Each structure stands twice: as C-alpha cells, then as structure tokens.
Amino acid sequence: MREISPRELVTVTGDRLPVPDPDHLVHMQFRRFAGCPICNLHLRGIAWRHDEITAAGIREVVFFHSPTDQLRGHDLPFAVIADPDKRYYREFGVESGPRALLHPGTWGAVLRGAALTLKGTFQPPASRQEGGRLGLPADFLIAPDGTVLAHKYGEHAYDQWTVDELLAHARSGAQR
C-alpha cells in the first residue's frame, strides 16, 4: 500500500477526523480488542509519551476490533476507532492467527499486562470477543498527502513500533 484515499473517521467519542490529516502525520495503529492486556501495556507507553509524539507533528489513531461501548471507558489521550466488523483491518491487510499468542515474544507482555489488569490498573476485556483474540498488530505512518511513509505488520501480538521507532520514521519521512 503506497497511498490511502481520503476518508473521515468517527472516534468512539463522536469526533470526526480526516485521514490523511492535511496538517499532521497520522500514525494508524491496529490493535486487538478493548481490554487486551497486551494492547493496554503497549498503549500505556504511547500515552506516557503522547506529548512528545504530538510535538513531532504526529496524530495518533488507534483501531480496535471491538464495539464502541466497550471502548468508551478507556481513558486514552488519542483518537480511538471502533471497527467491530474489521472493515479497516481488511482494507489495510491486518491479519489474525495463532502465532499472535504462541510466539515467545508475547509471553512477557501477556504476564505483565495480565498482572496490571488483575491489579486494577487496566480495565479487563469482555469475556466474549466477537472479533476473536488472535489479532496481530499493525502500524502505518501516513503523510498529509496520503502517502504511506512506513508500515509494519506484527509477527506476533506484541510486535509493533516503539515510540522511538515511530519518531525515527517521522523524522525520516519528513526529510523526503
């Protein structure tokens, strides 16, 4: 995918946002489901550094394959999009599969995320996940003209860009 067509996304809070954004780079993240301990762990790091990400001219947009009502209670400082039918997951080629949880790279994140969920730091997931529990993450960095500057399809459930990788992609994309 080299370029995306313009669209308007509606967040779980009802805000409308254009993608691509004419004034910002857009980091589109595809996560798993609301309350996913692995996703919560990753997004906690994104939230901690959100000011730094915003200062770099990047707007965060995070997709979940959960319904809006399951996402509203999560207090995140960036745009969250409910995609329970996985329309955008299909459009962007984001997959699911057993390797999402079987890879050793996920095990530490599963344990840390589950411990923080049990401790009450994170909201637990719904017992039933219509979109499944085997989703893989993906990251896309989109320029204001719709060009996909960089992308990553995760090999397992905790295989996504770090904030430092995102900022490096933004710097190199801005220099093109």
Angle, vertex CA 127, rays to CA 123 and CA 133, nearest 5: 90
For residue 102, what pLDDT is reported?
Answer: 66
For residue 153, what pLDDT is reported?
Answer: 95
Q: Would the pLDDT of 68 be above 60?
A: yes
115-163 pLDDT per residue, tens: 656 676 556 555 665 655 577 899 999 999 999 999 999 988 889 999 9
Concatenated DSSP letters of 104-119: HHHHHHHHHHHHHHHH
C-alpha 8/C-alpha 11 separation (Å) is 10
Q: Residue 35's pLDDT band (boundaries 50, 70, 90)?
A: confident
37-52 pLDDT per residue, tens: 777 778 888 989 999 9
Indicate whether this model's pTM tops 0.75.
yes
Domain boundaries, the chain: 9-174
For residue 174, what pLDDT is reported?
Answer: 59
The phi and psi torsions of 105 (rounded to 5 degrees) equal -65, -15
For residue 62, what pLDDT is reported?
Answer: 94
81-120 pLDDT per residue, tens: 999 999 999 999 998 776 666 666 666 666 666 665 667 6
Query: What is the DSSP pairing of strand 58-64 with strand 79-82?
Result: parallel
How much of the chain, in percent, has pLDDT values that exceed 90? 51
* Homologous superfamily of domain range 9-174: Glutaredoxin (3.40.30.10)
- Cβ-Cβ contacts under 8 Å for 160 (sequence gap 6 or more): 29, 42, 137, 138, 139, 152, 154
